[in-house]
Chain A
């Protein structure tokens, strides 16, 4: 195995630990927003999609770039939608807290 592969595997394994510890003791009430923010962050695959939007043999429209276009569109729905949904959910919490205090 080359160095690059080993590096990638190490990152992957470390990420598993980070993910586990970050999410381990979350208040049950926050599970739904956490789920939707995770969903938004999983839109990071947009990076892969953007990198595929390249001309091949000087043709700008080709199978790869069209697929990339579709993928970018889908993931950005996810990113913007995901963060907005989370924001709305959290706003709901804020309102609740206020009414409780009053």
Chain B
């Protein structure tokens, strides 16, 4: 039953994105997205085993208040910044979830789950730090100029290899500190990947990171 409900919300999301592709249906699309999200969250409440419901509720409430407040307050011209900033939140959340799962001693993670955890964590970490830099450039807090230095690509390559090896090491040893190390390397990689890109290209970067 739960899987069917998740499927239903996934279908709603697809229709939501589809709706956003033409001006006529775009508002309907947005509403469908909201419904899909509500279905998914309610389903999760139902299938979770001994969840700390008040804790979840409070977190959602605080988050909702901040989100709605920010969305109402912000100037139209600084929307891309806000989206970049919020996007960094998802990345950070993905990392936190992965770390939480790794430290959840009541769960034993299968091989496939450990691979997923690694990939989820490092993509989240890269997304987070890259989005923060993107936000900084869009809002003019950092220089929007391209920052390039010698051996940049070499450094990126090195960080990438280090991150993957840490991931493989975690996969074979279940070592939690190696997992944290991998997250840190991924954060650094996000920054070094994004600083060479100029401010004008930032919207492109933001939408790429969104994926």
Partner pick for B79 among A36, A47, A56, CB 8 A cutoff: A36
Classify the interface of chain A: helix, strand, loop or mixed: helix
Tell whether, in the assembled complex, residue B97 and residue A80 are in contact, meaning their CB atoms are under 8 Å apart.
Answer: no
Contacting residues, chain B, for A75 (C-beta < 8 A): 63, 89-90, 93
Task: Say which residue of A63, A69, A83 sits within 8 Å of B59 (CB atoms).
Answer: A69
Name B's A-contacting residues (CB within 8 A).
13-14, 16-18, 20-23, 26-27, 29-30, 33-34, 36-37, 40-41, 44-45, 48-52, 55-56, 58-60, 62-64, 66-68, 70-72, 74, 76, 79-80, 82-83, 86-87, 89-90, 92-94, 96-97, 99-101, 103-106, 112, 203, 206-207, 210-211
Nearest-neighbour CB distance to chain B for A40, whole angstroms, equals 6
The reply to whether B90 and A45 contact each other, CB–CB distance below 8 Å, is: yes
User: With A and B bound together, what is the CA distance between A60 and B58 in angstroms?
Assistant: 15
Interface residue A70 (Cβ < 8 Å from any Cβ of B): yes
**Known A50-B48, A67-B97, A76-B63; contact A37-B20, beta-carbon cutoff 8 A:** yes
Binding site of B, secondary structure by majority: helix, strand, loop or mixed?
helix
Residue of B67, B99, B207 touching A80 (CB-CB under 8 A): B67
With a 10 A CB-CB cut-off, give which of B26, B36, B44, B82 has the most chain A CB atoms: B26
Q: Chain A: residues with CB nearer than 8 A to chain B? A: 1-2, 4-5, 8, 18-19, 22-23, 25-27, 29-57, 60, 63-65, 67-90, 92-94, 97
B63 touches A73 (CB 8 A): yes
Q: Which residues of chain B have C-beta atoms less than 8 A from A2's C-beta?
A: 112
Closest to B26 in A: A90
Cβ–Cβ < 8 Å partners of A30 in chain B? 20-23, 26
Whole-angstrom distance between the Cβ of A55 and the nearest chain B Cβ: 6
